[in-house]
Structure 1
Amino acid sequence: MPQDMPPTGGYREVQYKRNVPARGFRPITYLVGMHLFMAYGYYKLFYGIREQNELAREKIWGRLHILPLLQAEEDRDQARRYYADKAREQQLLGSETKIYNSDRFVRPTFGYTPAKAHN
Structure 2
Amino acid sequence: MSVPYRQDMPPPGGFEPIRYKRYLPFKGPSGAVIFGIAMLISGFGIHGVGMANREKRELLREKTWARIHLVPLLMAEGDRDMYRRTHAALEREKEIMKDVKGWQYGGKVYNTDKYIPPSIQI
Q: Same fold (TM over 0.5)?
A: yes
Match of 1:38, SS state, is helix
What letter is aligned with 1:26? S
Q: Structure 2 CA distance, aligned partners of 1:101 and 1:109? A: 12
Shift of 1:50: 1.0
Does 2:36 match 1:26? no
Shift of 1:93: 1.0
Shift of 1:15: 3.7
How high is the TM-score relative to the length of structure 2? 0.72
Q: Structure 2 CA distance, aligned partners of 1:105 and 1:90? A: 21
Q: Structure 2 CA distance, aligned partners of 1:76 and 1:24? A: 75
Where does residue 108 of structure 1 map in the other structure?
118
Q: Residues 65-80 of structure 1: matches in 2 within 5 Å?
A: 65-80=69-84
Q: Residues 1-119 of structure 1: matches in 2 within 5 Å?
A: 2=6, 4-7=8-11, 11-15=15-19, 19-94=23-98, 96-98=102-104, 100-102=109-111, 105-110=115-120
How high is the TM-score relative to the length of structure 1? 0.74
> Where does the alignment leave 5 or more consecutive residues of structure 2 unmatched?
none
Moved more, 59-68 or 93-102: 93-102
Number of positions where the alignment pairs a residue of Structure 1 with one of Structure 2: 111
Where does residue 115 of structure 1 map in the other structure?
none
Shift of 1:69: 0.6
Q: Between Structure 1 and Structure 2, whose CA radius of gyration is higher?
A: 2
> Where does the alignment leave 5 or more consecutive residues of structure 1 unmatched?
112-119
What is the RMSD computed on CA atoms of the aligned residues?
A: 2.6
Shift of 1:5: 4.4
